[in-house]
Amino acid sequence: MTDSTLQNPLTSAEVARIKADFEILERPVGGNELVYLDSGATSQKPRCVYEAEQHFYETANAAVHRGAHSLAVEATDVFEQARSTVASFIGAQPEELIWTSNATEAINLLTYSFSNASLGRGGEAAARFALREGDEILVTELEHHANLIPWQELAFRTGATLRYVPVDPQGGLRYELLDELVTEKTKIVAFTHVSNVLGTITEVGRFVAAARRVGALTVLDGCQSVPHLPVDVKQLDVDFMAFSGHKMLGPTGIGGLYGRLELLNDMPPFLTGGSMITYVDMERAEYLPAPQRFEAGTQRISQVHGLATAASYLAETGMQRIADWEEHLGHLLYQGLSAIEGVRVFGPQDAARIGTVPFEVIGVHPHDVGQYLDSRGIAVRVGHHCAQPLHRALGVTSTTRASTYLYNTEEDIARLLEVVGSVREYFGV
């Protein structure tokens, strides 16, 4: 990937050109021009991504790793080249990237593999992943349910204890508690890179250092960072990272799990079946090394190709340029919303963040706010954003969330601020 730190910042004119690559953004909603501020839920796709999927079906559709005919060879080449492209995008080796349906499946893959290790599957090599009563798993109060519930279930299955790093009243992580919470009992430290609610960026190094001190494994939720920030898993020094394709301009139904190769090769498989074995008789099976040992069955070939195309689009634009532009938009959002009478903005004001800001209009339910904005052509997310514990810590049950991406303009932010400013008057508050 090009060192985007050496590239010029994105300009409003360039963002307008980027926006033109996304045909859906040209459609009207309710008679208004669409302002899409829900990329935290799912991103829109540039023309090249869905054309790549279509081109695969038109020219090379076949099962991968299974045939010797020309189409099968070509499809396998497309599939594995995509793995190399996306692995490079996150700073990994191709063998360290496992394809999954999404980040939720990636985290569940880990927890069920660790469950199998706890039952003795994988022998001595897998013993490091086994949990038992007295062991501890550490998460944070920021987590999306996808990086919380699987660990709750793993604790239930193994007898381990789940603990968490709390947030302060503004939603900032209580880093000063890490030394107290990470002990010799801690086996896994799982945490988000960027809060899907607040948009705040976690200090990954502090979690990794605490985990390394006691030999615990680290699991990073990269769903909101891989699309928006330059991410290099080797520099971050995490053991595992999950991410989703549909949040980074790619298709739905495709995600990935990064893992250190030496760890992946020692882990027992999660899903079993065809294409992940070396030997089978009627009593037992032996498994391929990573990544194939975790990719049972027919794979998501066109989606993988589309995701690689999306990663190339982002890399060509420059991830640091995207991060800087979104930081700018996030500042406009946070400051602009904070200045509107009757609007409460959540999250630490001085925290590093992407362009995601949650808020409430006092006296108006977030769902009513969302419907009112939609009637003006503005798409935002409302609800608890799959993070009920965080909302409870903030003292609310739901919020309205605006989340930006590389195709959002300063005019989009101005439109949102203008319409939010009229909400209370419209509802007679």
Are 33 and 41 in contact by the 8 Å Cβ rule? The answer is no
Report yes or no: 44 and 407 within 8 Å, Cβ to Cβ. yes
Question: What are 308's two structure tokens?
Answer: 């690689």
Following DSSP, what letter does each residue of 349-384 receive, concatenated?
A: TTS-B-SEEEEEETTS-HHHHHHHHHHTTEE-EEE-
The residue assigned the tokens 């065809």 is 274
Q: Residue 357 phi/psi, 5° resolution?
A: -140, 125
Q: Which of 339, 350, 324, 346 is nearest to 416 (CA)?
A: 339
Q: If we measure between CA atoms, which residue out of 393, 378, 389 comes closest to residue 423?
A: 378
Can you spell out the DSSP letters for 119-140?
Answer: TTTTGGGGGGG---TT-EEEEE
| Residue 215 Ramachandran class (φ > 0 left, ψ -120 to 50 alpha, else beta) | left
Of residues 101, 309, 318, 107, the one with CA closest to residue 228: 318
Cis upstream peptide for 291 (omega within 30°): yes
Closest CA to 227 of 207, 200, 250: 250
The number of CA neighbours under 13 Å toward the Cβ of 77 is 10
The amino acid at 172: G
CA 245/CA 253 separation, integer angstroms: 8
Of all helices (H) and strands (E), which one includes residue 393? helix 388-394
Helix (H, G, I), strand (E, B) or coil at 256: strand
> Residue 185: CB partners within 8 Å, gap ≥ 6?
134, 135, 136, 161
CA dihedral sign of residues 311, 38, 355, 151: negative
144: tokens are 């999306």
d(CA 92, CA 34): 37
Of the residues 263, 386, 393, 396, only one is catalytic, namely 386
- Does 48 participate in catalysis according to the annotation? no
How far, in Å, CA of 156 to CA of 162, rounded? Answer: 9
Q: In a 10 Å sphere around its CB, with 0-12 CB exposed, 13-18 middle and 19+ buried, how is residue 278 labelled?
A: exposed
**Residues annotated catalytic, as ranges:** 386
